[in-house]
């Protein structure tokens, strides 16, 4: 959950800190990012006016050992533009809604549990 919170709040360094030092993130487009610096740089590079909200559900985590765990979750992504003026019900959402999944491998480090590998993929899209 903290991953999507950092993403929605535009905190790329906080997001990257959730990964192990050499953590891997496979994005839905297939781009593979290795290490915290690469992950932070990729998330810092998103358009300045892009707003997102990720809703996460169906979270499942299985501890596989004293230092390892696997997990999965379902994600619904809405986005909009900071250039749109908010009305009484907020800003208009962009027409595209995307549903996806995270498949995760976690590792316990001296700093606590971290993401060793996250694979993100889209499963459904709804166009305007």
| CB 49, CB 81: distance < 8 Å | yes
pLDDT digits (tens, 9 = 90+) for 36-60: 999 999 999 999 999 999 999 999 9
pLDDT band for 101, please (50, 70, 90 cuts): very high
pLDDT recorded at residue 1: 86
% of the chain beyond a pLDDT of 70? 100
Residues with Cβ within 8 Å of 84's Cβ and at least 6 positions away in sequence, in order, are 91, 92
Alpha-carbon distance 85 to 122, whole Å?
29
Q: Show the tokens assigned to 76.
A: 């619904």
- DSSP bridge pairs for 33: 25
Instruction: Look at the block and give the residue holding tokens 């962009």.
Output: 94
Residues with Cβ within 8 Å of 87's Cβ and at least 6 positions away in sequence, in order, are none
% of the chain beyond a pLDDT of 90? 98
pLDDT band for 128, please (50, 70, 90 cuts): confident
The structural domains of the chain, ordered by start, are: 2-83+93-126 (3.10.450.50)
* Predicted TM-score (pTM) of this structure: 0.93
Number of neighbouring beta carbons within 10 Å of residue 31:
10
């Amino acid at each position: 959950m903290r991953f999507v919170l950092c993403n929605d709040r535009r905190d790329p360094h906080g997001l990257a800190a959730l990964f192990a030092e050499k953590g891997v993130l496979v994005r839905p487009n297939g781009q593979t990012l290795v290490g915290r610096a690469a992950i932070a740089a990729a998330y810092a590079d998103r358009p300045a006016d892009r707003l997102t909200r990720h809703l996460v559900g169906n979270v499942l985590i299985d501890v596989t050992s004293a230092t390892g765990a696997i997990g999965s979750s379902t994600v619904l992504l809405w986005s909009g533009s900071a250039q749109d003026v908010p009305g009484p019900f907020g800003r208009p959402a962009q027409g595209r809604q995307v549903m996806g999944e995270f498949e995760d491998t976690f590792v316990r480090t001296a700093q606590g549990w971290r993401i060793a590998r996250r694979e993100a993929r889209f499963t459904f899209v709804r166009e305007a």
